[in-house]
Structure 1
Amino acid sequence: MKILMASPEPPASDYGNGVTARRWAGMLRELGHDVLISLGYEGGGYDALVALHAGRSAECIRRFAAEHPGAPIVIGLTGTDLYPDFATSGVDPAVLELADRFVTLQSHGVQQLPPQLRPRARVITQSLPPVPAAEPRTDCFEVAFLAHVRPVKDPLLPAKAVRLLPADSRIALTHAGGARDEASQREVAAEAADNPRYTWLGALPRADALQVLARSRLLVLSSRHEGGANVVTEALAVGVPVISTHIPGSTGLLGDDYPGYFPVGDADALAAALYAAERNDGGVYDRMKERCGALRHLAEPGREKHAWAELWAELRAEQPSLTERVRRGQP
């Protein structure tokens, strides 16, 4: 099939949507499809559309549906689509109705869909090819924070938290991620200059950021919302335990009873969780590491590729009925 992969980020972007679009396109090519990644739909003949972000790709989805009646449409639902809900995110319900399948990155995302659309959803966990092992630093207890400087990531919360640590803590926070505007850049740079436990590396090539993760003792995720963070599955792939905000995007991957959560926006709680992990209080670090190890299979590329193969097999089987049906408002 000739597939258009529509992403709200440029194909070379290291932001989450760009990374996801490249990985999905690569897997679909391996499955024998011809895939073009584009910022939108500019016309042309395609057999199917995969659109990342129901909100930001809405016009692309509408145009494609109008010009390719019956061609399958798959919508990849992102965190800013799903949370706090579609209405608040500004997602047009009519656009959702145009989808033949939805892809969510973790199991809780399906529940955000209207009940009549949930049967169209498939959970496809993100993956990561093997990353070379890296020795942890011996001069500190390094914690990785891999996030671009955007409000939804609450990017200064981890830096605020490490300021609250007791003097005997050896925790050092390493932040890799770019700032999209000068004001954010100045704010983060000022924090790094004044906070001895916090190092901001700015935007790094993805391979270099993964090496920071691979050598770290922990990953911290401070996001207010996530559809299913790339970096969490990357941490699973490299065997690094995660401390995360208690959000559906993480509980849907790590489990509701995972021992490494803290409330959204709570620097004190994050500081306490980091210190407890460093000290392994009550064996909490061991339990996080054990759980993340048990979930490592979720990040295997073969598993993700197989899930995409199954999805396209379903769509091929349905194709005769797809080409005959009127899309508007019909499940």
Structure 2
Amino acid sequence: MPQLVIVSPALRDANNGNWQTARRWQRHLAGICRVRIGKAWPDALAAGDIAMIALHARRSAESIAAWADTHPGRGLALVLTGTDLYRDIAADAAARHSLDLAQALVVLQECAPLALPDAVRAKARVIFQSTTARQALVKSSHHLRAVMVGHLREEKSPQTLFAAARRLAGRRDLFIDHIGDALDPALGEAARATMAAAPNYRWLGGLPHEAVRRHIQRAHLLIHASRMEGGAHVVMEAVASGTPVLASRIDGNVGMLGADYAGYFPWGDAEALAALLLRCRESVAGEGGRLMAQLAVQCHQRAPLFAPERERSALHRLVGDLLRTAGDA
């Protein structure tokens, strides 16, 4: 059976989207090739590899270049993250070179190809990531609980949540939980300050993935305030749990939830986020509007995009193409 390597800048200890993608894809591909995951290439096991999937154009650039030197024109797919698409390929020559070297460019949401240079766009294919579905739970009408999931770093825009929570500090019927490690210590301090100023806001720190999924399943809403995203795991996990999403209107979120989704707010606009939360609270309480019902229906309509069998089928086609190019050499 042929051997494929997935190069991921983050491994299990990072507990982030790159690692989750690499591990899930390893499981999806188990029947058609041997798959190993490494942080860089080449390594001690490199001699057995005949195809590579690399996550992140900039952070995996050295591994991508090394592969291209020894396997020119064959067997290489590059998975593009949000920082690749919406920052690095415009500013970093190594990231742009990675696009040229790969035979296939994988993007994780339907708006992403528009961010690619014209010269390489034809190599792009959209593979929506997947997650297991969970039973939608009945939620209380006496309060609204929202959760935001993401390590505290600038790209996730936690400052927007902090400011919205402070605006809603007097509400005793609206609660906000915030999950994620403080990768930026200053943002951790800001989270603690927000807890002191807004008693209905809780920063829970980093949690195991299963605990995160339970929090999402029990919440009325997921908040996703990011500045840039390639295709967020937590958005599909919320959709697959029957939990509607309030999201910043950025391409990475629109490409997951659809252009006509009713739960967007302008990126960085804490006032608009707070207003949406209040509208959702009124909707849950039956005091006005059907926004929550509308969001639930729209998320249900998008849920089939994130089914495991759909991702597995697309991934098998990708790897079949990579193995054919490897065999043609």
Residue 110 (structure 2) aligns with: 107
Q: How far did residue 240 of structure 1 move?
A: 0.7
1:255 matched to 2:258? The reply is yes
Residue 27 (structure 1) aligns with: 28
> Percent of aligned pairs with the same residue?
36
User: After superposition, where does 1:121-160 map in structure 2 within 5 Å?
Assistant: 121-131=124-134, 134=137, 136=139, 140-160=143-163
1:69 maps to amino acid? P
Q: How far did residue 91 of structure 1 move?
A: 4.8
Query: How far apart in 2 are the matches of 1:5 and 1:42?
Result: 12
Residue 17 (structure 1) aligns with: 18
Query: How far apart in 2 are the matches of 1:268 and 1:169?
Result: 18
1:312 matched to 2:290? The reply is no
Residue 246 (structure 1) aligns with: 249
Q: How far did residue 99 of structure 1 move?
A: 0.5
Give unmatched runs, 5+ long, in structure 1. Answer: 324-331
Give per-residue Cα distances to partners, 1:100-145, cap 9 Å, x unaligned.
Answer: 1111110111111122322211111111123465554566310011
Q: Please give the TM-score of this superposition, normalised by the length of structure 2.
A: 0.91
Q: 3-state SS of the aligned residue for 1:291?
A: helix
Q: How far did residue 286 of structure 1 move?
A: 1.4
Q: How far did residue 168 of structure 1 move?
A: 5.5
Against the structure 1 CA distance between its residues 86 and 181, is the aligned structure 2 distance closer, same or farther, given a 3 Å change threshold?
A: closer
Residue 198 (structure 1) aligns with: 201
Query: How far apart in 2 are the matches of 1:139 and 1:272?
Result: 18
Query: How far apart in 1 are the matches of 2:92 and 2:173?
Result: 40
Query: How far apart in 2 are the matches of 1:132 and 1:118?
Result: 38
Native 8 Å contact 1:80 1:89 kept in 2: no
Residue 297 (structure 2) aligns with: 290
Against the structure 1 CA distance between its residues 113 and 4, is the aligned structure 2 distance closer, same or farther, given a 3 Å change threshold?
A: same
1:157 maps to amino acid? T
Query: How far apart in 1 are the matches of 2:141 and 2:193?
Result: 27
Query: How far apart in 1 are the matches of 2:117 and 2:130?
Result: 27
Q: How far did residue 194 of structure 1 move?
A: 2.6
User: After superposition, where does 1:257-276 map in structure 2 within 5 Å?
Assistant: 257-276=260-279
Query: How far apart in 2 are the matches of 1:209 and 1:69?
Result: 42
Residue 41 (structure 2) aligns with: 41
Q: How far did residue 16 of structure 1 move?
A: 1.5
Against the structure 1 CA distance between its residues 320 and 168, is the aligned structure 2 distance closer, same or farther, given a 3 Å change threshold?
A: closer
Kindly tell me the number of residue pairs found equivalent between the two proteins: 321
2:306 maps to amino acid? A
Give per-residue Cα distances to partners, 1:175-232, cap 9 Å, x unaligned.
Answer: 1111124433232222223311201110000000110000000110010000111111
User: After superposition, where does 1:202-213 map in structure 2 within 5 Å?
Assistant: 202-213=205-216
Query: How far apart in 1 are the matches of 2:172 and 2:235?
Result: 24
Give unmatched runs, 5+ long, in structure 2. Answer: none
Q: How far did residue 318 of structure 1 move?
A: 4.2
Q: Which runs of 4+ in 1 moved over 4 A?
A: 132-135, 166-169, 317-321
Q: 3-state SS of the aligned residue for 1:282?
A: coil
1:57 maps to amino acid? S
Between 1:288-297 and 1:191-200, the stretch displaced more is: 191-200
Query: How far apart in 2 are the matches of 1:42 and 1:59?
Result: 10
Residue 228 (structure 1) aligns with: 231
Q: 3-state SS of the aligned residue for 2:178?
A: strand
1:40 maps to amino acid? A
Residue 120 (structure 1) aligns with: 123
Against the structure 1 CA distance between its residues 288 and 75, is the aligned structure 2 distance closer, same or farther, given a 3 Å change threshold?
A: same
Q: How far did residue 283 of structure 1 move?
A: 1.9
Structure 1 vs Structure 2 CA RMSD: 2.0
